[in-house]
Amino acid sequence: MINVVTQAKLWYWQRLSAMVLALCVVSHLAMIVYASRGGLTAAEILARTRGNAPFAAFYSVFVAACAIHVPIGLKSIAVEWLRWRERSASIAAAIIALALLVMGFRAVYAIFV
Amino acid sequence: MMRNVGAHGHPAWWAFVAHRISGLLLAIFLPLHFWALGTALSGAAALDAFLHFAEQPVVKFAQWCLVVLLVVHLTGGVRLLLVEFRPWSGLRKDWIAGTLGMAAMIGLVYALALIV
């Protein structure tokens, strides 16, 4: 039986992160379309991102919101569609959250330094 | 799902399926995206090698699909937030139509950016 308080908290964090992500994704989409014109080159990307603190701050928030939002969504899929037990799905979600945080911040760092 | 067969086939059910599938595919893509950007740690040349790989038509098409999925998940997600947090006004089917419209519009804009 699922812990109702945990369920409610996950629901809340999923929605809160969704609100942050909605704003991030709109900016990100605009950036994607703008940057894609004429093809992408590393020089072009890095010229925009290296040493750009506001950019790094924005994408750090984006990564953190993803690391909250994605694992909760995947956990729902594991429980509802794959019939995983609540506990196994929660453990897997925590591992995915940590992996996304590490990989995401690594990516932001890689194009910032 | 299986217990509620009567709820299938409605626009809101299709919106749920589209939201879930787009979310799942985006979740699978995200680590690859982070890894690709992480190649810049080995220098601009490493990132360029990846970008060169991404120039292949099949990979470009996959990128286009991901952008469309992102728009679908974004617009569908905003609809869910409106359904859950704003005063009740039904299932907001106008937003389901809007999701398709936004996906088509941004899809065309992005296709143009990729081609030109």
* Most B-contacting residue of A25, A28, A50, A82 (CB-CB within 10 A), to test interface: A25
Q: B34 vs chain A: nearest CA distance in angstroms?
A: 5
Query: pTM for the complete prediction?
Result: 0.93
> Which range of residues forms the domain containing residue A28?
4-112
Count contacts between A and B (CB, < 8 Å): 95
Q: B2-115 in CATH: which number?
A: 1.20.1300.10
Q: Which of A15-24, B17-26, B73-82, B89-98 has the lowest mean pLDDT?
A: B89-98
What residues of chain B lie within 8 A of the CB of A45, using their CB? 40, 47
pLDDT band at A2 (very low <50, low <70, confident <90, very high): low
pLDDT band at A94 (very low <50, low <70, confident <90, very high): very high
Domain boundaries along the sequence of chain B: 2-115
What is the total count of domains within chain A?
1
pLDDT for res B1: 47
CB proximity list for A24: less than 8 A, separation 6 or greater:
A58, A61, A62, A65
* Most A-contacting residue of B19, B25, B33, B37 (CB-CB within 10 A), to test interface: B37
ipTM of the complex: 0.94
Q: B53 vs chain A: nearest CA distance in angstroms?
A: 11
